[in-house]
Amino acid sequence: MAGAASSPPGGRRRLRLRDDGVRSDTSAEQSKVEDIVQEVYNTFTANHHISQLVLHREKHLHYLKRGLRQLTEAYECLDASRPWLCYWILHSLELLEEPLPESVASDVCQFLSHCQSPQGGFGGGPGQHPHLAPTYAAVNALCIIGTEEAFNVINREKLLEYLNSLKQPDGSFLMHADGEVDVRSAYCAASVASLTNMLTPTLFAGTAEWIARCQNWEGGIGGVPGMEAHGGYSFCGMAALVILKKEHLLNLRRLLRWATGRQMSFEGGFQGRCNKLVDGCYSFWQAGLLPLLHHALYAQGDEALSMKGWMFDQLALQEYILLCCQCPAGGLLDKPGKSRDFYHTCYCLSGLSLAQHFGSGDIQREVVLGVPENRLQPTHPVYNITPEKAMNAVKHFLQQPVLSLQPKAAAI
Ligand code: FPP
Ligand code: ZN
């Protein structure tokens, strides 16, 4: 529960946790994080004004560019997520407006083509079984590159067959053959199918209704029906419904209430679920829900909608990312004391971008905290690549033939 107000270093009223005298492991952890964040804010504001906050662009670029060529042993555990590493790095670079040399782009295309499975879809590395998560990451990475070579890597016929092989009778998708079902797979499938012009009604029959069943009593969306609401799943569910044009199946106002409640009143960043800690990556997964909700509520003619900004504190989020999530040596992270990594670099920058750019209808409004050079490129709230790259991919694949699904072979 939020409670006692502390001095507002950034001009913002911060509310510290009040545990009403009932201390628990959870409240102790939360207080510890607030103490650390308070220390970071105090140290900064002792010598600077919040308007002097700087995004360490050059340091981040150095970290990202090196990661594209060489990874430390710490990344061994991500050997099944190599297309993700390509996507996290390429998207971070595009947000920072750093062009990709042609030779590097071509090397990434070739690498990803080795990750593509003869069955369709992409695996986590060359020769690995296909899986929907690296498939999503590979398609996004190739759309960011956006060259003929990149688009030609994607075998659309096989990709459609692969997506169809994962489709379940209740409308959901498996993450991989014989794997688990959750709302991530519906988003990954809808995202790659829509970018590559394969959004066939048959493939997604029942999917929107299945996703809507994942919205629970909290108002957020869980991994499967009946599970705890979480920012990662809520983003996937909502974004998939936007792609399928079925957002109205959700109770949007209840989702809005849940999502806005996940912005931490002291730290300014977001938590992933109720009573958990702030984490920089939710700057995208949670804050990304607000542009999607804005769009959906606007379409429904919701009168209470603000046209001045997203329905979260955009400055508070920027403050958290710039002050608490930057590694001085480059790269971004979850919270002070944690190590940098490419996942958090990508999603902290994506969240920073969302918090800087408001756009609805004809109204565009930028609010860049700190020095003007902190400005990032905008990101597409559904695909999380720049809107221009998403549009180019859609235009490119619209020129390709519409593919139809072969009926599934009957079980013997
Ligand atoms: C909880 O982790 C995290 C999850 C249960 C899943 C998160 C899902 C995503 C981030 C979405 C992934 C999206 C795609 C497209 C594959 P935790 O318990 O370590 O963290 P928490 O304490 O912050 O909840
Ligand atoms: Zn995280």
Tell me, using a 6 A CB cutoff, whether residue 133 lines ligand 1.
yes
Tell me how far the alpha carbon of residue 244 lies from the centroid of ligand 2, in angstroms: 27
Statement: residue 4 has pLDDT above 90: no
Residues of the chain with pLDDT > 90, as a percent, come to 91
Tell me, using a 6 A CB cutoff, whether residue 236 lines ligand 1.
yes
What's the confidence (pLDDT) of residue 1? Answer: 43
What's the confidence (pLDDT) of residue 7? Answer: 47
What's the confidence (pLDDT) of residue 407? Answer: 61
Max alpha carbon distance in the chain (Å)? 73
Statement: residue 124 has pLDDT above 60: yes
What's the confidence (pLDDT) of residue 2? Answer: 44
Q: How many CA within 13 A on the CB side of residue 79?
A: 6
Label residue 409 by pLDDT band (50, 70, 90).
low
Taking only the tens place, the pLDDT of each residue in 282-314 is: 999 999 999 999 999 999 998 888 889 999 999
Statement: residue 194 has pLDDT above 90: yes
Task: State the angle between helix axes of 183-195 and 231-243 in degrees (0 to 180), rounded to the nearest 10.
Answer: 40
- Ligand 1 pocket test: pick from 230, 233, 292, 382 the residue with the most ligand atoms within 8 Å of its Cβ: 230
What's the confidence (pLDDT) of residue 8? Answer: 45
Statement: residue 128 has pLDDT above 80: yes
- Ligand 1 pocket test: pick from 184, 191, 334 the residue with the most ligand atoms within 8 Å of its Cβ: 184
Burial of 401 (0-12, 13-18, 19+ CB in 10 A): exposed
What's the confidence (pLDDT) of residue 11? Answer: 63
Taking only the tens place, the pLDDT of each residue in 23-78 is: 999 999 999 999 999 999 999 999 999 999 999 999 999 999 999 999 999 999 99
* Nearest Cα residue to atom 4 of ligand 1: 232
Backbone angles phi, psi at 337, to 5 degrees: 100, -15
Kindly report the average pLDDT of the chain as a whole number.
95
Q: Answer for the pair 91, 344: CB distance below 8 angstroms, yes or no.
A: no
Q: Report how far residue 299's alpha carbon sits from residue 292's, in angstroms, rounded to the nearest whole number.
A: 11
Q: Answer for the pair 3, 15: CB distance below 8 angstroms, yes or no.
A: yes
Burial of 267 (0-12, 13-18, 19+ CB in 10 A): buried
Taking only the tens place, the pLDDT of each residue in 195-230 is: 999 999 999 999 999 999 999 999 999 999 999 999
The number of angstroms, rounded, from the C-alpha of 393 to the middle of its chain's C-alpha atoms is 19
Q: What is the pTM of this model?
A: 0.96
Label residue 9 by pLDDT band (50, 70, 90).
very low
Label residue 183 by pLDDT band (50, 70, 90).
very high
Tell me how far the alpha carbon of residue 147 lies from the centroid of ligand 1, in angstroms: 32
Tell me how far the alpha carbon of residue 232 lies from the centroid of ligand 1, in angstroms: 5
